[in-house]
């Protein structure tokens, strides 16, 4: 819940409580005043009656002419008196005067009446009703009650509401002339006067007053709540909202919006402190941003590919050089383990003879790009950095060794080719001519000794040996004088199938099973004849390694720019120390091999700008992986 809502609830609740308390007090006061007005009216009637009774009592009653129909007071000893003129007068005592005045008030239709009541009444008309009896018992009961001056309450009778008032009459000296023989003494409770006021208008007035107070209270609550709310909004809420807005802008990284509140109070001081804090944070953030830009600029414009790696090996940051090197996008590379980008079996520690500084690591490895290309790299790792919440962060500098390795390989190959060229020239002159003579002479002997059994037995072996020497010389001359490839679009599936047909006789009688998974309709720019020669050499090597039993698996997958071909056998494998020598000319572990097959494969693949690598495990098998570009780049 927002602060504005809370303030509104507090204001309305507080104002409602205060106004309600005030108006309840006013309502109580109104009812009290109404009651006091009824009580005042009843007292006035009572006092007037009391004065009248006292006057009559002080004069021992009053005689009035007795008119026809007027009854004499039967409770007096001598109620009538005849004057000398013959007129009859009747005596009116205080009780009779009071009763006749009450009856007169009823006849006149007044809203009040009164009645004399006594527990020891003589006249049945003075018999008390229930209210009057309770009042008389109340006044006659205790000393505390005798000290009371009046007894009153509201009553509902016959559909009307009345205010009942009762005040006591105590025996005085002047009362004994009439009531002395009844056993009263001065100070005794003789009875009382009951006053009855019609107050039917009281509930209506009370209801109207309550409606007026409720409406006034609602208006007061609304007016005061709005007044207080707008005052608080101007002085408190609006400034706080401005501070909140500025805080949210800072949270979003916007430190340029200033907060201007000119108030000489606590909120003004808060705003000034906030503005000071904003300027300090902006200064610190600008300095940090400048530092970060320098740091990123240094990394981004570095000549080397750089990766920042967490303690668990995940790549946190990298520059564009590494993205270009691995052919990954930024989002794809971040979060990957750097070790997963390396072909671990070909990774090796660089410069083992040199002592490395603490928290550093220096080695060479082969990096595998997203499109399958393999790139020789040199990695220099510096460990032990803290970057934010990441501890033990490493900075990796990755240098592409492709050109250096290519130059090294070309240098070695050039040396080999020079030596081989010299050897080939010697072979051409020293071996080929005598070999030609031997072959001619052997054919001559066959013509003259064709019937000789001994000659017929040794002739095939001699002829085969001469042909083998001739083939070796031809291979050496072909290797030393390579043909330039003629590139044209060709189906990789057709090239592989053609190579399999040419070597079919080599495995027809064996238990070797061939599994082929080659993408159809994949065209690449290549020299089909040379690529066919590559696959023939690889297939023949695989058959020789499996020794008549096993599985040859050929898998081909195409991407947008390259084709990856894997030739896998289940043969005896190649020991790890020999893997680096398998492409050397004349290196062979096969009894009948020349050692030039893989050397020719290597030369053809390099002519096709292809990359390749070999994985092998003894007694498990060997996998040759070739990655050929779909289109050949023109070399200037």
**Which pLDDT belongs to residue 316?**
87
**Which pLDDT belongs to residue 226?**
85
**Residue spans per domain, the chain:** 3-58+93-204, 255-301, 304-400, 401-481, 485-636
pLDDT digits (tens, 9 = 90+) for 18-59: 888 888 888 888 888 888 888 888 888 888 888 887 888 777
Rounded Cα distance between 437 and 150, Å, is 167
Using the predicted structure, report yes or no on whether residue 630 has a pLDDT greater than 80: yes
Using the predicted structure, report yes or no on whether residue 417 has a pLDDT greater than 80: no
CA angle 208/213/215 to nearest 5° reads: 95
| DSSP, res 487 | -
Is residue 347 left, alpha or beta, with left meaning phi > 0 and alpha meaning psi from -120 to 50?
beta
Rounded Cα distance between 125 and 200, Å, is 26
**Which pLDDT belongs to residue 531?**
92
Residue 422 phi/psi, 5-degree rounding, is: -65, -40
Using the predicted structure, report yes or no on whether residue 94 has a pLDDT greater than 60: yes
CA angle 335/336/340 to nearest 5° reads: 165
Strand ranges for 262-373 from DSSP E = 305-309, 315-318, 348-349, 360-368
pLDDT digits (tens, 9 = 90+) for 107-125: 765 677 888 888 888 778 8
Using the predicted structure, report yes or no on whether residue 347 has a pLDDT greater than 60: no
From the number of C-beta atoms within 10 Å of its C-beta (0-12, 13-18, 19+), residue 616 rates as buried
Average pLDDT value for residue range 176-202: 78
Residue 179's pLDDT band (cuts 50, 70, 90): low
Residue 535's pLDDT band (cuts 50, 70, 90): very high
Domain 3-58+93-204: assigned CATH number: 3.30.450
Residue 148's pLDDT band (cuts 50, 70, 90): low
Distant-in-sequence contacts of 461-464, Cβ < 8 A, 24+ apart: none
Rounded Cα distance between 5 and 589, Å, is 89
Using the predicted structure, report yes or no on whether residue 212 has a pLDDT greater than 80: yes
Average pLDDT value for residue range 324-332: 83
**Which pLDDT belongs to residue 584?**
77
Helix, strand or coil for residue 548? coil
Give yes or no for a contact between 106 and 113, defined as CB atoms under 8 angstroms apart.
yes
CA quadruple 44, 47, 53, 55: dihedral, nearest 10: -110
**Which pLDDT belongs to residue 496?**
92
What CATH homologous superfamily does 304-400 map to? Answer: PAS domain (3.30.450.20)
**Which pLDDT belongs to residue 564?**
93
- Assigned architecture for domain 485-636: 2-Layer Sandwich (3.30)
The answer for residues whose C-beta is within 8 angstroms of residue 55's C-beta and 6 or more apart is none
Beta bridge partners of 489: 525
Name the residue among 134, 126, 169, 129 with its Cα closest to residue 152. 134
Average pLDDT value for residue range 163-191: 78
Residue 350's pLDDT band (cuts 50, 70, 90): very low
Residue 429's pLDDT band (cuts 50, 70, 90): low
Structure tokens at 130: 């229930």
- For 334-369, letters b (16+ CB in 10 Å) and e give eebebeebbeeebbeebeeeeeeeeeeebbbbbbbb
pLDDT digits (tens, 9 = 90+) for 540-559: 888 888 888 899 999 999 88
Q: Of all helices (H) and strands (E), which one includes residue 89?
A: strand 88-92
Sheet-wide strand order for 160-170? 112-117, 189-198, 160-170, 151-157
pLDDT digits (tens, 9 = 90+) for 243-299: 777 788 777 777 777 777 777 777 777 778 878 888 888 888 888 888 878 877 888
Q: Pick the residue with more confidence: 143 or 325?
A: 325
**Which pLDDT belongs to residue 491?**
92
Name the residue among 131, 251, 274 with its Cα closest to residue 195. 131
Using the predicted structure, report yes or no on whether residue 354 has a pLDDT greater than 70: no
Structure tokens at 463: 């002829």
Residue 629 phi/psi, 5-degree rounding, is: -70, 145
Average pLDDT value for residue range 500-527: 84
Rounded Cα distance between 534 and 541, Å, is 11
Pairing state of beta strands 88-92 and 62-65?
Answer: antiparallel
Q: What is the mean pLDDT of the chain?
A: 81
Residue 329 phi/psi, 5-degree rounding, is: -90, 160
pLDDT digits (tens, 9 = 90+) for 220-237: 888 888 888 888 777 777
Using the predicted structure, report yes or no on whether residue 495 has a pLDDT greater than 70: yes
Residue 596's pLDDT band (cuts 50, 70, 90): confident
Residue in this structure with the two tokens 């309550």, named with its chain if needed: 210
Pairing state of beta strands 549-558 and 511-518?
Answer: parallel
**Which pLDDT belongs to residue 345?**
47
Share of the chain above pLDDT 70, in %: 89
Q: Pick the residue with more confidence: 299 or 569?
A: 569
Using the predicted structure, report yes or no on whether residue 482 has a pLDDT greater than 80: no
Sheet-wide strand order for 360-368? 315-318, 305-309, 390-400, 374-387, 360-368, 348-349
**Which pLDDT belongs to residue 118?**
86
Q: Judge if 3-58+93-204 and 485-636 fold alike in CATH terms.
A: no
């Amino acid at each position: 819940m927002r602060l504005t809502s809370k303030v509104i609830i507090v204001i309305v609740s507080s104002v409602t409580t205060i106004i309600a308390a005030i108006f309840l007090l006013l309502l109580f006061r109104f009812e009290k005043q109404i009651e006091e007005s009824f009580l005042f009216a009843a007292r006035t009637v009572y006092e007037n009656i009391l004065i009248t009774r006292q006057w009559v009592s002080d004069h021992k009653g009053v005689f009035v002419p007795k008119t026809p129909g007027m009854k004499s007071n039967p409770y007096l000893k001598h109620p009538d008196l005849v004057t000398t003129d013959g007129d009859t007068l009747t005596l009116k005592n205080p009780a009779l005067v009071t009763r006749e005045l009450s009856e007169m008030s009823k006849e006149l239709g007044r809203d009040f009446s009164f009645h004399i009541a006594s527990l020891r009444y003589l006249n049945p008309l003075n018999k008390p009703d229930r209210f009057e009896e309770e009042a008389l018992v109340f006044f006659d009961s205790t000393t505390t009650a005798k000290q009371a001056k009046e007894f009153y309450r509201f009553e509902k009778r016959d559909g009307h509401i009345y205010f009942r008032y009762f005040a006591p009459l105590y025996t005085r000296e002047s009362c004994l002339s009439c009531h002395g023989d009844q056993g009263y003494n001065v100070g005794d409770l003789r009875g009382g006067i009951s006053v009855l006021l019609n107050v039917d208008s009281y509930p209506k007035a009370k209801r109207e007053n309550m409606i007026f107070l409720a409406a006034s209270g609602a208006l007061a609550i609304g007016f005061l709540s709005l007044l207080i709310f707008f005052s608080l909004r101007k002085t408190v809420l609006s400034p706080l909202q401005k501070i909140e807005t500025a805080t949210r802008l800072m949270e979003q990284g916007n430190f340029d919006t200033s907060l201007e509140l000119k108030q000489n109070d606590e909120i003004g001081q808060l705003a000034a402190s906030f503005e000071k804090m904003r300027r300090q944070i902006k200064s610190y953030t600008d300095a940090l941003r400048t530092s970060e830009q320098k740091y990123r600029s240094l990394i981004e414009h570095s000549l080397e590919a750089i990766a920042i790696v967490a303690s668990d090996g995940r790549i946190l940051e990298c520059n564009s050089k590494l993205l270009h090197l691995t052919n990954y996008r930024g989002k794809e590379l971040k979060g990957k383990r750097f070790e997963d980008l390396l072909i671990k079996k070909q990774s090796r520690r660089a410069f083992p003879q040199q002592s490395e500084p603490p928290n550093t690591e220096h080695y060479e490895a082969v990096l595998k790009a997203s499109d399958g290309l393999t790139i020789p790299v040199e990695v220099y790792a510096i460990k032990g950095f803290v970057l934010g919440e990441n501890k033990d962060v490493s900075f990796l500098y990755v240098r592409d060794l492709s050109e250096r390795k290519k130059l090294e390989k070309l240098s070695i190959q050039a040396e080999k080719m020079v030596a081989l060229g010299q050897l080939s020239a010697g072979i051409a002159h020293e071996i080929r001519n005598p070999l030609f003579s031997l072959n001619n002479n052997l054919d001559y002997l066959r013509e003259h000794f064709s019937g000789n059994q001994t000659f017929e037995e040794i002739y095939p072996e001699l002829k085969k040996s001469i042909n083998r020497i001739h083939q070796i010389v031809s291979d050496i001359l072909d290797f030393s004088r390579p043909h330039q490839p003629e590139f044209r679009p060709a189906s990789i599936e057709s090239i592989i199938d053609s190579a399999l047909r040419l070597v079919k006789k080599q495995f027809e009688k064996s238990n070797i099973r061939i599994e082929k998974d080659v993408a159809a309709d994949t065209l690449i720019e290549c020299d089909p004849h040379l690529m066919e020669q590559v696959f023939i050499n690889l297939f023949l090597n695989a058959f020789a390694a499996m020794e008549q039993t096993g599985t040859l698996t050929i898998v081909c997958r195409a991407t947008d720019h390259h084709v990856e071909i894997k030739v896998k056998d289940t043969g005896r494998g190649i020991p790890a120390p020999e893997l680096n020598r398998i492409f050397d000319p004349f290196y062979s572990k096969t009894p009948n091999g020349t050692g030039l097959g893989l050397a020719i494969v290597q030369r053809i693949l390099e002519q096709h700008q292809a990359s390749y690598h070999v994985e092998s495990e003894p007694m498990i098998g060997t996998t040759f992986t070739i990655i050929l570009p779909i289109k050949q780049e023109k070399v200037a």
